Structure 1
Amino acid sequence: MAWLVAFSQPSHRCLSLTGLVALVLFSSVAAVSDKSKFDKMVRFESGSYRLGTDEKDARDGEGPSRLVSVKPFEMDQYSVTNEQFRKFIRDTKFRTEAEKFGWSFVLEPFVSEKIKATIKESVQGAPWWLPVKGAYWRQPFGPGSSIKEMMHYPAVHISWNDATAYCKWAKKRLPTEAEWEFAARGGGQQGKKYPWGNKYEKKRMNIWQGEFPDTNTKEDGYHGVCPADAFKPQNEKGMYNMIGNVWEWTSDQFRDESGGQEKKYVLRGGSYLDTVEGEKNHIARVTTRMGNTPDSGSDNLGFRCAKKAKGKSKSKTEL
């Protein structure tokens, strides 16, 4: 099996490094905080809209756009945080896949020189991703790192399997892809490039600015993952960091246009290492998507939860 690399994002289920094949399973599950603002969910009424884009640079199934409908649902206003994730772990004694397999992927700039000296493998096509022993949600950059000062940051190194386990514990579920984009658009903004409109704004999302992967000018104020509540809400419904910061899992299976046979699930939103142009990674926009195996994870993979909305729908949105 070969190590699959989707531009900026490695796939962890199968890893082929300098002739070696190492199986990687990823993890991270988040947990619900004690009545903090990060527990808030936002309600969306039923509606129909065109998911995806008709732009010529559409990739990974972004296009063509197609008409979809959603029923009333609620979605977390924020990505699941380390604080929430820790509560889940303490309550269930769950072990993430990264813990079971003993390592996870970390972006090269965040790996200490001491740890780098021990790494002999490299990822063909994406050398900025390093397999770091001991990296998982509690040690996001490997041994010696900690989430002590990052409790309100998104939990990362999260696999689809881990996220699903967390959602079950929280009596929620992963959002469908249609729900995710509907929420990112604020239940509106049909055809807009970003959750807030068509114009790029530097301090509205955490992405890579500068020449990737060598230079990040940090015009948005961050290098790497930022707090789940960084920046002002990205749309009128008050949703935070739907675009940029960390990729987020959905419940939809991904159809691999490259012909791959491995089962994959859809990730949405892009992350801190994606850019406006997407020349070496992904374009940071509301339709950005990719697929990865359910055991994959890294320091830029997270999630948020959804659930069926209770009560009658107030109105139906037609876009």
Structure 2
Amino acid sequence: MQYVKILGVFLMIGVMVQCKEGKKPTGDSKDSTPISEAGKAPNKDVAVLVEKPENIEAPDGMVWIPGGEFTQGAVPQDKMAMDHEKPAHKVKIDGFFMDATEVTNAEFAKFVEETGYITVAERAIDWEEMKSQVPEGTPKPHDSILQPGSLTFKKAKSTVPNLYDFSQWWSWTIGANWKHPNGPDSSIEGKENEPVVQVAYEDALAYCEWAGRRLPTEAEWERAARGNKAESIYFWGDDESVLSQMGNTWEGEFPVINSKADGFESRAEVKSYPPNDFGLYDMAGNVWEWTSDWYNINYYKELDAQNSVAVNPPGASSPYNPNMPYAKEKVMRGGSFLCNASYCASYRISSRMASSLDSALEHLGFRTVATVDMLQGN
């Protein structure tokens, strides 16, 4: 089987991330799924927890995110906003604690050491399971290809005229996993403070269970990222000229030349850039972050149509993405070191993308949250 066909199998089952500025969901399909019944509020008078209770201390490494009402979604002046970031809609959430940084290699290593956990990217591939997620009749790749691994990034040698064809810069790499994020010859030694990557959704959930935490909802993530910048494109305001000082992104011609104006070509150590208003680091760039919400391109429209303030919305009740019909995808937030204005500009607060449950990628990690109820054992 030719390499392109083999790579196509993995892309079709959703191991790849959609990060394309041009291919915008329309939300016009008749196959839309309904939003969750939870999260609907009949009026604006529903009370939420705003301030941190005095008898609750912030867990180590976490900061308090005040509750309240905010507008989720693209701001009017954001010319890069995609259709699935619209329409903006009112949301109320309870206050919660969030990791100040993305979960690091050192933190994930401690979890693995104590539990013996084996990540998805390290496990043998089950073709019977995989073929249930691809079109009927998809040929099985050779056994030499169906080995544990994940996708890694590679630079293109020359200008890429078609940024829709992401096989030009992604490669299926046997032996790539959280301990070897760029392939079997790479290592996290000396990179303990970089965010852990090559973790699938299941891996992030396992870590959360061990830590007594959970993943943030998409609404919680955006509330946390926005801070006090209620009407800004970026967490620092609207000035894109300071991007290299505020986050780890791709600067130069993607995916050919990275000028490293921000100081890094790949992942950066956490806290390498200034925090936002709430004391959170890397809410723009570095690595994408898992949320608990299903990705459904119609969700924002349907939520807005309720004509009420959504309270603690848990997201869509089921996934729906006509561009990846065989994959079950979750929303990821925050952008990564690969985000560029010509490609996805996902260092914007409202930016959102989808990744399938079994995706493990070298620019996708996570951070955790804890609620007052969780800390009180309720």
In 2, Cα distance between equivalents of 1:160 and 1:256: 19
SS of residue paired to 1:43: strand
* Displacement of 1:310: 5.9
In 2, Cα distance between equivalents of 1:306 and 1:199: 29
Could you tell me which residue of structure 2 aligns to residue 273 of structure 1? Answer: 338
Q: Is the 8 A contact 1:7 1:281 kept in 2?
A: no
SS of residue paired to 2:168: coil
In 2, Cα distance between equivalents of 1:251 and 1:50: 19
Q: Is the 8 A contact 2:80 2:345 kept in 1?
A: no
Which amino acid letter does the alignment assign opposite residue 107 of structure 1? F
Could you tell me which residue of structure 2 aligns to residue 131 of structure 1? Answer: 172
Structure with greater proportional helix content: 2
- TM-score, length-scaled by structure 1: 0.78
Q: Is the 8 A contact 2:283 2:334 kept in 1?
A: yes
1:189 aligns with 2:189: no
Of the three residues 103, 112, 116, the one matched with 2:149 is 103
Which amino acid letter does the alignment assign opposite residue 145 of structure 1? S
Q: How does 1:250-289 map to 2 (within 5 A)?
A: 250-256=291-297, 258-259=321-322, 260-261=324-325, 262-275=327-340, 277=341, 279-289=342-352
Q: How does 1:106-255 map to 2 (within 5 A)?
A: 106-109=152-155, 124-186=165-227, 188-200=228-240, 201=242, 202-233=244-275, 235-255=276-296
SS of residue paired to 2:84: coil
Cα 1:125–1:44, aligned 2, differ >3 Å: closer, same or farther? closer
1:52 aligns with 2:94: no
- Measured against aligned partners, the alpha-carbon deviations of 1:27-64 in whole angstroms (never above 9, x if no partner) come to xxxxxxxxxxx941011222010001144542262111
Q: Is the 8 A contact 2:18 2:353 kept in 1?
A: no
Cα 1:171–1:6, aligned 2, differ >3 Å: closer, same or farther? closer
Which amino acid letter does the alignment assign opposite residue 192 of structure 1? S
Which amino acid letter does the alignment assign opposite residue 232 of structure 2? K
Cα 1:65–1:160, aligned 2, differ >3 Å: closer, same or farther? same
Q: Is the 8 A contact 2:285 2:334 kept in 1?
A: yes
Of the three residues 59, 62, 77, the one matched with 1:41 is 62
Which amino acid letter does the alignment assign opposite residue 347 of structure 2? A
Q: Is the 8 A contact 1:246 1:301 kept in 2?
A: yes
Could you tell me which residue of structure 1 aligns to residue 370 of structure 2? Answer: 307
> Highest CA radius of gyration, 1 or 2?
2
Which amino acid letter does the alignment assign opposite residue 174 of structure 1? L
SS of residue paired to 1:219: coil
Q: Is the 8 A contact 2:285 2:346 kept in 1?
A: no
Where relative contact order (Cα < 8 A, 6+ residues apart) is larger, the structure is: 2
> What 5-or-longer segments of structure 1 have no aligned partner?
10-37, 111-122, 312-319
Which amino acid letter does the alignment assign opposite residue 153 of structure 2? L
> What 5-or-longer segments of structure 2 have no aligned partner?
1-8, 21-58, 125-147, 157-163, 299-320
In 2, Cα distance between equivalents of 1:222 and 1:264: 29
- Measured against aligned partners, the alpha-carbon deviations of 1:262-297 in whole angstroms (never above 9, x if no partner) come to 32111000000102x2x2234421111111111112
Aligned residues between the structures: 267
1:93 aligns with 2:116: yes
Q: Is the 8 A contact 2:150 2:174 kept in 1?
A: yes
Cα 1:3–1:171, aligned 2, differ >3 Å: closer, same or farther? closer
Q: Percent identity?
A: 38
* Displacement of 1:198: 1.4
- TM-score, length-scaled by structure 2: 0.67
Could you tell me which residue of structure 2 aligns to residue 83 of structure 1? Answer: 106
In 2, Cα distance between equivalents of 1:248 and 1:39: 20
SS of residue paired to 1:89: helix
Q: Is the 8 A contact 1:248 1:267 kept in 2?
A: yes
* Displacement of 1:221: 0.3
Structure with greater proportional strand content: 1
In 1, Cα distance between equivalents of 2:245 and 2:222: 21
- Measured against aligned partners, the alpha-carbon deviations of 1:211-267 in whole angstroms (never above 9, x if no partner) come to 00000000000001100121121x122110011000000011110464244321110
Q: Is the 8 A contact 1:7 1:282 kept in 2?
A: no
- Measured against aligned partners, the alpha-carbon deviations of 1:74-98 in whole angstroms (never above 9, x if no partner) come to 0000000000000000111010000
In 2, Cα distance between equivalents of 1:147 and 1:60: 37
SS of residue paired to 1:147: coil
Of the three residues 298, 302, 305, the one matched with 2:361 is 298
Which amino acid letter does the alignment assign opposite residue 330 of structure 2? Y
* Displacement of 1:171: 0.1
In 1, Cα distance between equivalents of 2:190 and 2:183: 15
Which amino acid letter does the alignment assign opposite residue 120 of structure 2? E
SS of residue paired to 1:221: coil
Root-mean-square deviation over aligned CA pairs: 2.2
In 1, Cα distance between equivalents of 2:295 and 2:83: 9
